[in-house]
Amino acid sequence: MEELCTGLCSVLAESGADAGLALFLSLLVGVLLVSGVPLITVILLIWIERKVAARIQDRIGPNRVGPVGLLQTIADMIKLLSKEDITPTAADRVLYNAAPLVSFASVVLIWAVIPFTPFHYGVDLEIGALYFVAIASFGTLAIMAAGWASNNKYALLGAFRVVALLVSYEVPLVFALLLPVMLAGSMSLLDIVNAQTGMWFIVLSPLAFVIFYISSQAETGRAPFDLIEAESELVAGFNIEYSGMKFGMFFAAEFLHVFTNGIIMAILFFGGWLGPLYYESPLIAFAWLGAKGGLIYLTTLWLRNTVPRLRIDQIMAFNWKFLVPLSIANLIAVSFALKLLQELGWAPRDLLSASFGELLPTTVILLIINGAMILYLLGVLRERGREARRESHDPRAAIANVGAAAD
Amino acid sequence: MVPLWMYLAVAAALFSIGVFGVLARRNAVAILMSVELMLNAVNINLVAFWRYSETGTDLLLNGYAFTAFVLIVAAAEAAVGLAIIITVYRNRRSVIPEEAATLKG
Amino acid sequence: MELNAISIGFVVFSIFTLGGGFGVVTTRNLFQGTIWLMVSLFGVAGYFILLSAPFLAAVQILVYIGAIAILIIFAVMLTRSVARIKERYIRILPSFIASLALFLILLLGVTIPIFGAHSPESIPEYVASTRNLGTALVDENGFVVPFLLASVLLTAAMIGAIFIARDENA
Amino acid sequence: MNVLNEWAFVGLFAVLAPVFPALPIVIAWLFRPRKPNVLKSSTYECGVETIGDTWVQFRVQYYIYGLIFLVFDVEMVFLFPWAVAYNEMSLFGFVAGFLFIFLLTDALFYAWKKNALDWK
């Protein structure tokens, strides 16, 4: 929105408005334009989510309101608006009401730094990638506050479990995020996209993408990590005491968060708007970003509807004993190999201007390293799976396992 | 721009609030939170002095880097301090520092 | 001090910082105290942005609101006294006088020497970026020793805290 | 746009972002029925009376996870600048960063060996 802002700003200033006021107004228009994108998509996302889930489960899904059920979300919103909003007497009113707002706002705020096209973006912060992680921590605190302010045992227990899950999976997420930052030599999301002109980062560090994908699936509380809404075990988790529109806000935030993470992954690893003919028109660039983000989003929906939920001890063990060591090892391996190549002069030091040909030797070597790591990991996982199956056939071990799970 | 002394005045006020909390609160967790306030007041000063120092052409990073180190120390302090509080609570069912003074002769 | 975005930001963040600080030392409820602490530290992050150190601001939010707040809340829930602490404060009047005196001394001692000096016009236009910090951190003439010492400190803190907090009976 | 204008944008965004979810809630507040009664606004507990205080005791494992997370999170204070400067640094710089990560990995390894990573 930069050019629009400065353009509007100068027009307003010429028409005799105060310079500060002109700037404020142009910023306001920019904010409304940028925030409009997530707010409009979220209505569509809920419909897509339900339709995809229905198709996977061999149902039809919403099909009554509007063409192919497109207006179902609007109908649901009207229903939620007319619902009575119950605030428990024991609740801490201020925090109870603020929590859903902060939860939703923390997701919308991420969109401020997302570059839609080479020229259309809210802001290009020097610390864009870090901003994305920092803003997400507000969401965690909001969940904690919601659980506590409800003044309900189940809400608090649910919030504790969710927060433990969220903070645990943030560690591999940030370690995986370091790789695109390292390759591009910048935290600005615009620079990260531009650095992928020669080669997408998914090719340079596929393992980092896998780690990022898994942990962002956990960050958004999706299956197989959906402890947030494990309705069969936790009554409803941290949002048990919420009703009406406030309850709806937590859900809207979750749906939007999944899609936002898809877009972020498209930017970090799939070259954002880069694709054939992207320079022809901003619309094509925007379409590329939307297509890539949408595709990643669809795979998360697919996962959500096919994979069963894990127990919390399994989730934690998977994170701390597998994902975190793996993400550290990946960071060290890739950074070591790349530094060695740079010292030998085989890899360019500046990816922003490196072409495809210059990057080819680097790509091949990094791919070999990543491939070797992935093969080794698959071997480890297969062995663990075999062990687990053997244990589950042994009745005594099975009983011991049940005892451990019940704790 | 805001003049430097205003940042320092706010930092001084924040530090004094922290001191009051450390002196007057009874709960160990509250005391720890007050200590965090004091550390952050120091950080405001560091960054403000860093920003307003006249460097000429070369870049001085001392204030900037020092703030990052203070942040790390604050985090380590919080982690160990809270762990101690939890352990003392588990053994003595109390979070009041005066009541945990068993080493006193 | 004319009215512009920076001065508005300064006033807003001052309210956040000091108001949050008052909240921390006055609320009886430790959970609310934690939230107040986060309000205060958010204000500090705002100062960092005004002082052209956005990286420190982001890190402040990441470390405090993302991690330390969660840790304090966990600790509050773990150490909830069965018998509530009756009185909130001890030595309230002496503490108040002491901290007020300290504030006045700090204010006088800090502002008088620099009042009028460092006029806003003289501050450097160009400020260090995150890249400069990164280069300096691993430079042998820069901060490489403190950089590694920080790692040792964090390792020691983590091992120590786990050793202390671990419940051997469980 | 200079740097502070960018942050003014983010600040304005941060002010407006909570307004979007607040709007439907306020609209709902205008239209929704209000029929509170004691049972409805009491704490939910599967239809029975709430026993005891909400604040049940929690296991220390939550704290341990929070602690390890804190240490890794704080590590990012240095690792992000390191990653940004990565392309320009010499082998020495890389080794320093490697040592930094390696020391932290030690702590994780210690926690693993002491079974502090197990959910119990």
> Across all residues in chain C, what is the average pLDDT?
84
Parent domain of D94? 61-113
A1 pLDDT exceeds 60?
no
Parent domain of C158? 126-170
Instruction: Count up the domains in chain C and report the number.
Output: 2
For residue C76, tell me if it sits in a domain.
yes
CB-based contact D74 B75, cutoff 8 Å: yes
For residue B104, tell me if it sits in a domain.
no
Does A contact B via 3+ CB–CB distances below 8 Å? no
CB-based contact C70 A141, cutoff 8 Å: yes
pLDDT for D35:
76
- Cα(A175)–Cα(A328) distance, integer angstroms: 7
- Cα(A249)–Cα(A236) distance, integer angstroms: 15
CB-based contact A95 C70, cutoff 8 Å: no
For residue C151, tell me if it sits in a domain.
yes
Q: Which residues of B touch D77 (CB under 8 A)?
A: 68, 71-72
For residue B105, tell me if it sits in a domain.
no
Q: What is the ipTM of this complex?
A: 0.90
Q: Which of C82, C105, C137 is the C-terminal boundary of a domain?
A: C82
- Cα(A241)–Cα(A238) distance, integer angstroms: 8
Alpha-carbon distance B61 to nearest alpha carbon in chain D (angstroms):
13
Instruction: Count up the domains in chain B and report the number.
Output: 1
Q: Which sign does the torsion angle of CA A45, A119, A178, A134 carry?
A: negative
CB-based contact C129 A160, cutoff 8 Å: no
* Nearest one of A83, A369, A62 to A205, comparing CA atoms: A369
Alpha-carbon distance D96 to nearest alpha carbon in chain A (angstroms):
12
Contacts of B94 (CB under 8 A, 6+ apart): B88, B100, C81
Q: Which of C52, C82, C112 is the C-terminal boundary of a domain?
A: C82
> Per residue in A292-307, pLDDT tens?
999 999 999 998 888 8
CB-based contact D11 C9, cutoff 8 Å: yes
Same domain, C9 and C66: yes
For residue D21, tell me if it sits in a domain.
no
> Per residue in A239-251, pLDDT tens?
888 888 888 888 8
Instruction: Count up the domains in chain D and report the number.
Output: 1
CA distances from D76 to A134, A181, D70 (A): 11, 12, 10
| The amino acid at A383 | E
What pLDDT tens digit does each residue of chain D (120 aa) get? 456 678 888 888 898 888 888 888 888 888 777 777 777 777 766 555 555 555 556 778 888 999 999 999 998 889 999 999 988 888 888 899 999 999 989 889 998 988 888 876
Burial of B42 (0-12, 13-18, 19+ CB in 10 A): middle
* Nearest one of D5, C49, D104, D43 to A150, comparing CA atoms: D43
| DSSP structure string for A170-194 | HHHHHHHHHHHHHHHT---HHHHHH
Q: Which residues of C touch B30 (CB under 8 A)?
A: 24-25, 30, 33
- Cα(A303)–Cα(A206) distance, integer angstroms: 19
What the block records as the tokens of B6 is: 């205003």
User: pTM for the complete prediction?
Assistant: 0.91
A138 pLDDT exceeds 60?
yes
Q: How many CA atoms lie within 13 A of A87 on its CB side?
A: 14
For residue D35, tell me if it sits in a domain.
no
- Cα(C159)–Cα(C137) distance, integer angstroms: 24
pLDDT for C116:
67
For residue B103, tell me if it sits in a domain.
no
What the block records as the tokens of B8 is: 């320092």
Q: Is some CB atom of chain C closer than 8 A to the CB atom of A131?
A: yes
CATH of the domain at B67: 1.10.287.3510
pLDDT band at A407 (very low <50, low <70, confident <90, very high): very low
- Cα(C91)–Cα(A225) distance, integer angstroms: 49
Same domain, C141 and C65: no
For residue B100, tell me if it sits in a domain.
no
> Per residue in C125-152, pLDDT tens?
667 788 888 888 888 777 888 889 999 9
